[in-house]
Protein backbone atom coordinates (compact mmCIF):
# COMPACT_ATOMS: atom_id res chain seq x y z
CA UNK A 1 0.00 0.00 0.00
CA UNK A 2 1.29 3.44 -0.95
CA UNK A 3 0.12 6.91 -0.02
CA UNK A 4 -0.75 8.48 -3.38
CA UNK A 5 -1.57 12.16 -3.92
CA UNK A 6 -3.71 12.93 -6.96
CA UNK A 7 -4.04 16.61 -7.84
CA UNK A 8 -7.30 17.64 -9.48
CA UNK A 9 -8.71 14.45 -8.01
CA UNK A 10 -12.35 15.26 -8.68
CA UNK A 11 -11.82 15.92 -12.39
CA UNK A 12 -12.66 13.43 -15.12
CA UNK A 13 -9.39 11.51 -15.32
CA UNK A 14 -8.46 12.35 -11.72
CA UNK A 15 -11.48 10.68 -10.18
CA UNK A 16 -11.02 7.66 -12.42
CA UNK A 17 -7.39 7.33 -11.35
CA UNK A 18 -8.43 7.72 -7.71
CA UNK A 19 -10.97 4.90 -7.98
CA UNK A 20 -8.65 2.55 -9.84
CA UNK A 21 -5.66 3.04 -7.54
CA UNK A 22 -7.81 2.92 -4.40
CA UNK A 23 -9.28 -0.37 -5.61
CA UNK A 24 -5.72 -1.70 -5.81
CA UNK A 25 -5.28 -1.08 -2.09
CA UNK A 26 -3.54 2.29 -2.02
CA UNK A 27 -4.46 5.20 0.23
CA UNK A 28 -5.54 8.07 -2.03
CA UNK A 29 -5.03 11.66 -0.93
CA UNK A 30 -7.57 13.62 -2.95
CA UNK A 31 -6.20 17.11 -3.55
CA UNK A 32 -8.17 19.93 -5.13
CA UNK A 33 -9.97 23.22 -4.60
CA UNK A 34 -13.51 22.17 -3.71
CA UNK A 35 -13.90 20.63 -0.26
CA UNK A 36 -17.45 19.54 -1.07
CA UNK A 37 -16.45 17.67 -4.23
CA UNK A 38 -13.36 16.18 -2.61
CA UNK A 39 -15.35 14.91 0.35
CA UNK A 40 -17.90 13.45 -2.03
CA UNK A 41 -15.17 11.50 -3.81
CA UNK A 42 -13.56 10.37 -0.57
CA UNK A 43 -16.90 9.18 0.81
CA UNK A 44 -17.51 7.24 -2.38
CA UNK A 45 -14.12 5.53 -2.08
CA UNK A 46 -14.50 4.77 1.62
CA UNK A 47 -17.98 3.34 1.08
CA UNK A 48 -16.32 0.58 -0.92
CA UNK A 49 -13.87 -0.18 1.84
CA UNK A 50 -11.03 1.75 0.21
CA UNK A 51 -8.67 4.24 1.86
CA UNK A 52 -8.95 7.95 1.11
CA UNK A 53 -8.35 11.35 2.67
CA UNK A 54 -8.83 14.92 1.54
CA UNK A 55 -6.63 18.01 1.26
CA UNK A 56 -7.83 21.35 -0.07
CA UNK A 57 -5.47 23.57 -2.06
CA UNK A 58 -5.45 25.59 -5.25
CA UNK A 59 -2.57 24.24 -7.32
CA UNK A 60 -1.92 27.74 -8.64
CA UNK A 61 -1.25 28.91 -5.07
CA UNK A 62 2.19 27.77 -3.96
CA UNK A 63 1.62 28.51 -0.26
CA UNK A 64 -1.63 26.56 -0.16
CA UNK A 65 0.02 23.52 -1.73
CA UNK A 66 2.95 23.65 0.71
CA UNK A 67 0.56 23.85 3.66
CA UNK A 68 -1.44 20.91 2.31
CA UNK A 69 1.77 18.91 2.00
CA UNK A 70 2.75 19.67 5.57
CA UNK A 71 -0.64 18.46 6.77
CA UNK A 72 -0.20 15.23 4.79
CA UNK A 73 3.11 14.48 6.51
CA UNK A 74 1.66 15.29 9.92
CA UNK A 75 -1.45 13.13 9.42
CA UNK A 76 -0.07 10.24 7.38
CA UNK A 77 3.67 10.29 8.03
CA UNK A 78 4.73 10.03 4.39
CA UNK A 79 3.86 10.58 0.75
CA UNK A 80 4.99 7.81 -1.61
CA UNK A 81 3.56 8.94 -4.95
CA UNK A 82 2.46 12.33 -6.27
CA UNK A 83 0.47 12.40 -9.50
CA UNK A 84 0.23 15.81 -11.16
CA UNK A 85 -3.08 15.25 -12.86
CA UNK A 86 -4.60 18.73 -12.60
CA UNK A 87 -4.86 20.43 -15.98
CA UNK A 88 -7.27 21.97 -18.43
CA UNK A 89 -8.06 22.21 -22.12
CA UNK A 90 -10.11 25.40 -22.10
CA UNK A 91 -12.41 26.25 -24.98
CA UNK A 92 -11.15 29.85 -25.06
CA UNK A 93 -7.62 28.64 -25.79
CA UNK A 94 -8.59 26.71 -28.92
CA UNK A 95 -8.23 28.33 -32.33
CA UNK A 96 -5.63 30.08 -34.50
CA UNK A 97 -2.83 31.15 -32.16
CA UNK A 98 -2.81 34.71 -33.53
CA UNK A 99 -6.51 35.15 -32.78
CA UNK A 100 -6.52 33.97 -29.18
CA UNK A 101 -6.45 36.45 -26.34
CA UNK A 102 -2.87 36.41 -24.96
CA UNK A 103 -4.08 36.01 -21.38
CA UNK A 104 -6.28 33.05 -22.34
CA UNK A 105 -3.30 31.40 -24.02
CA UNK A 106 -1.02 31.98 -21.04
CA UNK A 107 -3.65 30.88 -18.53
CA UNK A 108 -3.94 27.57 -20.38
CA UNK A 109 -0.18 27.08 -20.25
CA UNK A 110 0.00 28.02 -16.58
CA UNK A 111 -2.85 25.80 -15.45
CA UNK A 112 -1.05 22.82 -16.97
CA UNK A 113 2.66 23.64 -16.62
CA UNK A 114 2.89 25.82 -13.50
CA UNK A 115 0.70 23.46 -11.49
CA UNK A 116 2.99 20.59 -12.49
CA UNK A 117 6.02 22.55 -11.35
CA UNK A 118 4.41 23.46 -8.01
CA UNK A 119 3.28 19.88 -7.47
CA UNK A 120 6.70 18.47 -8.34
CA UNK A 121 8.53 20.96 -6.15
CA UNK A 122 6.25 20.26 -3.21
CA UNK A 123 6.43 16.50 -3.65
CA UNK A 124 10.23 16.42 -3.75
CA UNK A 125 10.47 18.42 -0.53
CA UNK A 126 7.98 16.06 1.13
CA UNK A 127 9.88 12.97 -0.07
CA UNK A 128 13.44 14.12 0.64
CA UNK A 129 13.30 13.04 4.27
CA UNK A 130 12.82 9.40 3.31
CA UNK A 131 14.83 9.80 0.09
CA UNK A 132 12.23 7.81 -1.82
CA UNK A 133 9.15 8.40 -3.90
CA UNK A 134 7.64 8.76 -7.34
CA UNK A 135 6.33 11.81 -9.15
CA UNK A 136 4.17 11.17 -12.20
CA UNK A 137 3.24 13.95 -14.60
CA UNK A 138 0.58 13.81 -17.29
CA UNK A 139 1.55 14.64 -20.84
CA UNK A 140 -0.93 14.54 -23.70
CA UNK A 141 -1.84 15.88 -27.10
CA UNK A 142 0.80 18.04 -28.72
CA UNK A 143 3.83 16.18 -27.36
CA UNK A 144 4.44 13.58 -30.04
CA UNK A 145 3.22 15.76 -32.90
CA UNK A 146 1.89 19.32 -33.34
CA UNK A 147 -1.61 20.07 -32.11
CA UNK A 148 -2.97 22.68 -34.54
CA UNK A 149 -5.40 25.14 -32.92
CA UNK A 150 -4.38 23.85 -29.50
CA UNK A 151 -0.94 25.42 -29.27
CA UNK A 152 -1.20 26.45 -25.61
CA UNK A 153 -2.17 22.98 -24.41
CA UNK A 154 0.38 21.30 -26.67
CA UNK A 155 3.17 23.66 -25.62
CA UNK A 156 2.41 23.09 -21.93
CA UNK A 157 2.28 19.31 -22.22
CA UNK A 158 5.49 19.21 -24.24
CA UNK A 159 7.21 21.38 -21.64
CA UNK A 160 5.96 19.05 -18.90
CA UNK A 161 7.63 16.07 -20.57
CA UNK A 162 10.97 17.88 -20.91
CA UNK A 163 10.63 19.26 -17.36
CA UNK A 164 10.10 15.71 -16.06
CA UNK A 165 13.32 14.49 -17.66
CA UNK A 166 15.28 17.51 -16.47
CA UNK A 167 14.15 17.19 -12.85
CA UNK A 168 14.98 13.49 -12.84
CA UNK A 169 18.54 14.27 -13.92
CA UNK A 170 18.80 16.89 -11.16
CA UNK A 171 17.59 14.37 -8.59
CA UNK A 172 20.16 11.83 -9.71
CA UNK A 173 22.97 14.36 -9.60
CA UNK A 174 21.95 15.39 -6.09
CA UNK A 175 21.97 11.78 -4.92
CA UNK A 176 18.23 11.64 -4.33
CA UNK A 177 16.38 8.41 -5.08
CA UNK A 178 13.09 10.09 -6.01
CA UNK A 179 11.99 9.20 -9.54
CA UNK A 180 9.97 11.22 -12.03
CA UNK A 181 7.99 9.91 -14.99
CA UNK A 182 5.59 11.38 -17.54
CA UNK A 183 2.89 9.55 -19.43
CA UNK A 184 0.07 10.08 -21.90
CA UNK A 185 -3.25 8.65 -20.66
CA UNK A 186 -4.76 8.89 -24.14
CA UNK A 187 -8.24 10.07 -25.11
CA UNK A 188 -10.50 8.86 -22.30
CA UNK A 189 -14.27 9.27 -22.32
CA UNK A 190 -15.58 11.36 -19.42
CA UNK A 191 -17.85 14.36 -18.91
CA UNK A 192 -15.09 16.88 -19.58
CA UNK A 193 -14.06 15.13 -22.77
CA UNK A 194 -17.64 15.10 -24.01
CA UNK A 195 -18.13 18.79 -23.19
CA UNK A 196 -14.98 19.70 -25.09
CA UNK A 197 -15.87 17.61 -28.13
CA UNK A 198 -19.39 19.02 -28.26
CA UNK A 199 -18.26 22.65 -27.97
CA UNK A 200 -18.63 24.90 -30.99
CA UNK A 201 -14.94 25.78 -31.08
CA UNK A 202 -13.80 22.14 -30.99
CA UNK A 203 -16.23 21.18 -33.73
CA UNK A 204 -14.83 23.96 -35.86
CA UNK A 205 -11.11 23.44 -35.28
CA UNK A 206 -10.84 19.83 -34.08
CA UNK A 207 -13.67 17.92 -35.80
CA UNK A 208 -11.67 14.70 -35.67
CA UNK A 209 -12.28 14.53 -31.91
CA UNK A 210 -16.01 14.04 -32.43
CA UNK A 211 -15.34 11.27 -34.93
CA UNK A 212 -13.08 9.51 -32.46
CA UNK A 213 -15.58 9.93 -29.63
CA UNK A 214 -18.43 8.53 -31.70
CA UNK A 215 -16.75 5.93 -33.87
CA UNK A 216 -13.10 5.56 -32.89
CA UNK A 217 -11.27 3.54 -30.28
CA UNK A 218 -11.08 5.41 -26.99
CA UNK A 219 -8.39 4.92 -24.37
CA UNK A 220 -9.22 2.96 -21.23
CA UNK A 221 -8.43 4.25 -17.73
CA UNK A 222 -7.43 0.71 -16.76
CA UNK A 223 -4.37 1.05 -19.02
CA UNK A 224 -3.28 4.17 -17.12
CA UNK A 225 -3.78 2.40 -13.80
CA UNK A 226 -1.66 -0.53 -14.94
CA UNK A 227 1.06 1.81 -16.20
CA UNK A 228 1.18 3.76 -12.94
CA UNK A 229 1.41 0.53 -10.96
CA UNK A 230 4.42 -0.53 -13.01
CA UNK A 231 6.11 2.86 -12.63
CA UNK A 232 5.73 2.91 -8.84
CA UNK A 233 6.75 -0.73 -8.41
CA UNK A 234 10.44 0.02 -8.93
CA UNK A 235 10.68 -2.14 -12.04
CA UNK A 236 11.14 0.90 -14.30
CA UNK A 237 13.50 2.94 -12.08
CA UNK A 238 16.33 2.73 -14.63
CA UNK A 239 13.97 4.39 -17.13
CA UNK A 240 13.00 7.32 -14.92
CA UNK A 241 12.60 10.69 -16.63
CA UNK A 242 11.02 9.11 -19.68
CA UNK A 243 7.63 9.53 -21.35
CA UNK A 244 5.33 6.54 -21.76
CA UNK A 245 1.96 5.81 -23.35
CA UNK A 246 -0.77 3.99 -21.50
CA UNK A 247 -2.44 2.61 -24.63
CA UNK A 248 0.28 0.33 -25.96
CA UNK A 249 2.01 -0.92 -22.79
CA UNK A 250 5.31 0.44 -24.12
CA UNK A 251 6.70 0.54 -20.57
CA UNK A 252 6.77 -3.27 -20.51
CA UNK A 253 8.72 -3.29 -23.78
CA UNK A 254 11.06 -0.68 -22.35
CA UNK A 255 11.70 -2.65 -19.15
CA UNK A 256 12.49 -5.76 -21.18
CA UNK A 257 15.04 -3.77 -23.20
CA UNK A 258 15.95 -1.09 -20.69
CA UNK A 259 19.68 -1.14 -21.45
CA UNK A 260 18.93 -0.40 -25.12
CA UNK A 261 16.40 2.29 -24.20
CA UNK A 262 18.98 4.03 -22.02
CA UNK A 263 21.80 3.76 -24.56
CA UNK A 264 19.66 5.07 -27.42
CA UNK A 265 17.76 7.66 -25.41
CA UNK A 266 14.37 6.22 -26.30
CA UNK A 267 11.14 7.78 -24.98
CA UNK A 268 12.88 11.12 -24.54
CA UNK A 269 12.19 14.31 -26.49
CA UNK A 270 15.13 14.81 -28.84
CA UNK A 271 15.92 16.62 -32.09
CA UNK A 272 17.39 13.97 -34.36
Write the pLDDT tens digit of every residue in 52-77: 999 999 999 999 999 999 999 999 99
pLDDT confidence of residue 190 = 77
Q: In what order do the strands lie in the sheet with 133-138?
A: 51-56, 27-32, 3-7, 81-84, 133-138, 178-184, 243-245
Residue 52 lies in a domain: yes
- Nearest Cα neighbor of 242 from 112, 134, 153 is 134
For residue 39, tell me if it sits in a domain. Answer: yes
Inside any domain, residue 201: no
In a 10 Å sphere around its CB, with 0-12 CB exposed, 13-18 middle and 19+ buried, how is residue 103 labelled? exposed
How far is Cα 19 from Cα 166, in angstroms, rounded to an integer?
A: 30
Condensed to tens digits (0 to 9), the pLDDT of residues 106-131 reads 999 999 999 999 999 999 999 999 99
Q: What CATH code is carried by the domain that includes residue 236?
A: 3.40.50.720
> Is residue 145 in a domain?
yes
- Tens of pLDDT, residue by residue over 162-188, are 999 999 999 999 999 999 999 999 888
Looking at the domain assignment, is residue 213 inside a domain?
no
Query: Half-sphere exposure of residue 101, counting CA atoms within 13 Å on the CB side?
Result: 7
Q: Which helix (DSSP H) or strand (DSSP E) does residue 82 occupy? A: strand 81-84
Q: Tell whether 13 is covered by a domain.
A: yes
Instruction: Give the pLDDT confidence score for residue 271 in this predicted structure.
Output: 87
Alpha helices in the chain (DSSP H): 12-23, 35-46, 62-76, 102-127, 151-173, 191-198, 200-205, 207-215, 221-231, 250-256, 258-264
- Residue 89 confidence (pLDDT): 86
Helix axis angle for 12-23 and 35-46, nearest 10°, is 30
Mean pLDDT for the chain overall: 95
Give the rounded percent of residues in the chain with a pLDDT score beyond 90: 83
The arithmetic mean of pLDDT across residues 207-228, rounded, is 85
- Residue 104's pLDDT band, with cuts at 50, 70 and 90, is very high
Which whole-number Å values give the CA distances from 182 to 25, 51, 193, 221, 241, in the listed order?
A: 23, 25, 21, 16, 7
Q: How far apart are the first and last CA of the chain?
A: 41
Task: Find the helix or strand (DSSP H, E) in which 4 lies.
Answer: strand 3-7
Range of the domain at 237: 3-195+221-264
pLDDT at 218: 79
For residue 211, being part of any structural domain is answered with no
Give the chain's domain count: 1
Phi and psi torsions of 128, nearest 5°: -60, -35
Say if residues 5 and 123 touch (Cβ distance below 8 Å).
yes
Residues across the chain: 272
Express each pLDDT in 220-267 by its tens digit.
999 999 999 999 999 999 999 999 999 877 899 999 999 999 999 999
**What DSSP designation does 70 have?**
H
pLDDT of 6 reads 98
Lowest mean pLDDT segment, chosen from 27-36, 53-62, 146-155, 200-209? 200-209
- Give Cα 29 to chain centroid, integer Å: 15
* pTM (predicted TM-score): 0.95
Write the DSSP symbol of residue 237: G
Q: Give domain status of residue 203, yes or no.
A: no
Coil/strand/helix, residue 37: helix
Tell me the three-class secondary structure of 83-149, residue by residue. Answer: EECCCCCCHHHCCCCCCCCHHHHHHHHHHHHHHHHHHHHHHHHHHCCCCCEEEEEECCCCCCCCCCC
Number of other CB atoms surrounding residue 194 within 10 Å: 13
Amino acid sequence: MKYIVITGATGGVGSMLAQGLAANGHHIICLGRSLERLEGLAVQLRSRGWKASVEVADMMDHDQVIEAGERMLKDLGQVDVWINNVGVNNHNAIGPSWELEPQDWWTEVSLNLYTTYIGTRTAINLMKGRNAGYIINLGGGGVQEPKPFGSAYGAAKTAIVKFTETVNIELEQEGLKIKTFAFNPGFIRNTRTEELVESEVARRYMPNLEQILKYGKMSEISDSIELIEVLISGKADALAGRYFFSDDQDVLKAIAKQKLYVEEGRNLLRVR
